[in-house]
Amino acid sequence: MLVLPAELTHAQASACCQMLAQALRRSAQTAVVADAAALVRFDSSALAVLLECRRESLALGKTFSVSHLPARLRELATLYGVAELLPAAP
């Protein structure tokens, strides 16, 4: 499971993306779940990080889903037309 930090704005996006990509490459799990429960402060950069995690997961032959996505971030994903790329974890 990938765990997103409490704050994920433009300032943290690059470092967070690199950290999560490394975790993805090291993980033997074939079903990747990004846990967004800790997110309390974020901007649209959080969507970019999640989409990059999805791209990396698919490139490694893994599935990708998101758990506990905050409603406001789900609304942003819908507004930008990418909500279907971030399915809720079962």
**Of 76, 69, 13, nearest to 45 (Cα)?**
13
What's the pLDDT score for residue 75? 97
Spell out the residues 6+ positions from residue 22 whose beta carbon is closer than 8 angstroms to its own: none
Cα(8)–Cα(36) distance, rounded to whole angstroms? 10
CATH of 2-85, one of 3.40.47.10, 2.130.10.10, 3.30.750.24, 3.10.20.30: 3.30.750.24
Tens digits of residue pLDDT in 60-70: 999 999 999 99
Tens digits of residue pLDDT in 39-61: 999 999 999 999 999 999 999 99
Mode of pairing for the β-strands spanning 31-35 and 2-3: parallel
pTM: 0.95
5 — pLDDT class (breaks 50, 70, 90): very high
